[in-house]
Amino acid sequence: MDRPASRLDFAVIGHQDSWANIHTFVNRIRTPEQGTLSVEKVKAIFPFIPARDLFRVTVTSRTGDTIKGVYIDTFIEPDKLGVTNLRTNLRKVEDAIAFAKKLEAPIVALGGFTSIFLEGELSPYASSNTRFTTGNTLTSAFIVKGVEQAAVENQLDLRSASVLIIGATGDIGRACVGYFQSRVNNLLLCARNKRRLERLAGEVKAGGGRCTSAIELSTLLPRADVIICVASSSNLALAGVKPEAIICDAGYPKNLFRDAADRPGFLFHGGMGQVEGGYRFEPDYTDSFYQYPAPDIIHGCILEAMVLAFEKRFENYSSGRGNITVEKVEEIYRLSLKHGIALAPFFNDNGLCPTRPKVSSI
């Protein structure tokens, strides 16, 4: 696709994960004359706002290239991400998709739950001018590389470790299973649908991997040396976990209870990358949207659109469910590093974790 230089290079469709962020943002864009709104008032208005672009983003690659994108919010209510609101949420995602197509963004990432509502089926929305990606391949890459790095820093040999994946049958979960099944001693797989879970466990065993699966999380938690949280649920409890277990919570919103970071051991928010060349929001809403303890950190799914835009790979790169191969994880991670987009420093709700990951080189 040849495109005029003035056009957008990418777009990101997303949703917010807390009313606190939304409240801050809404009051940030109101003038002093309009006054501030209470959380209750914001909650009453928010669901009626149609999908729209909130700010432009400029990103610089290590190669010196610069790309321009746009962030489009769906205005999905953060406490209504479940199936009960599916029809409304689907309509909001489809409105945001139509908006991105109108802007002729050549590659569009559907962040967080926006792709989950569509079950990753993005191809029907693609047009000759606009392609879509869930961004789950780069998210998976940052999760698995982050876990490997955390294991090195915490002197854990993954080859003798039991690795629990919560949300194992999901798109990102399956990518993590595929990556680790030949690299760890034992996989512990958890999800709520028993039939899908047992089928996955059967595939792992058929491929020569060792694994145990259970729909009851409590039976697996005490056995895990590493826990990867990639479920589409929140407020999961960590009862009975080994104190030294390494935990990667990559959920958006977070899968674990907010107090999870207070436990002993190493817990980090996974699936996150950091842009070496930095990025700029216009208008600059970083004070309302930026919640990270280090600069230039972004979700892997959003970064995937940026990497594809730098590479001019305008294709439905991550689409459907269960299609993420180890080869694609390695490919997008290599391309990401080429543009100076690396694993984010480890952090959680309490700030930066005491040690930093070493930035991998290509």
**Which residues are at the interface with ligand NAP (CB under 6 A)?**
112-113, 116, 135-136, 139, 166-173, 190-193, 196, 230-233, 250-252, 271-272, 299-301, 321
CA 19 to chain centre: 19
Question: Do the Cβ atoms of 236 and 217 come closer than 8 Å?
Answer: yes
Nearest to 347 by CA among 337, 333, 357, 358: 357
Q: Which is nearer to ligand NAP, 100 or 168 (CB)?
A: 168
Question: Taking phi first (over 0 means left), then psi (-120 to 50 degrees means alpha), and beta for anything else, what does residue 124 get?
Answer: alpha
Query: Shortest gap between Cβ of 168 and ligand NAP (angstroms)?
Result: 6
Query: Shortest gap between Cβ of 193 and ligand NAP (angstroms)?
Result: 3
Two structure tokens written together for 335: 């391309």
Q: Which is nearer to ligand NAP, 116 or 260 (CB)?
A: 116
Q: Tokens 């010196």 correspond to what residue? A: 64
Q: Which is nearer to ligand NAP, 15 or 68 (CB)?
A: 15
Question: Taking phi first (over 0 means left), then psi (-120 to 50 degrees means alpha), and beta for anything else, what does residue 135 get?
Answer: left
Q: Which is nearer to ligand NAP, 60 or 234 (CB)?
A: 234
Residue 159: is it exposed, middle or buried by C-beta count within 10 angstroms (0-12/13-18/19+)?
Answer: exposed
Query: Shortest gap between Cβ of 114 and ligand NAP (angstroms)?
Result: 9
Q: Which is nearer to ligand NAP, 158 or 172 (CB)?
A: 172
Q: Which is nearer to ligand NAP, 105 or 200 (CB)?
A: 200
Residue of closest CB approach to ligand NAP: 170
Query: Shortest gap between Cβ of 67 and ligand NAP (angstroms)?
Result: 19
Question: Do the Cβ atoms of 241 and 223 come closer than 8 Å?
Answer: no
Within 8 A by CB and 6+ apart from 248, the residues are: 143, 146, 147, 150, 226, 227, 228, 229, 267, 268, 269, 270
Q: Which is nearer to ligand NAP, 185 or 233 (CB)?
A: 233
Indicate the DSSP class of residue 262: G
Q: Which is nearer to ligand NAP, 183 or 196 (CB)?
A: 196
CA distances from 340 to 164, 237, 275 (A): 30, 36, 6
Q: How many CB atoms lie within 10 A of CB 311?
A: 18
Q: Tokens 């879970």 correspond to what residue? A: 197
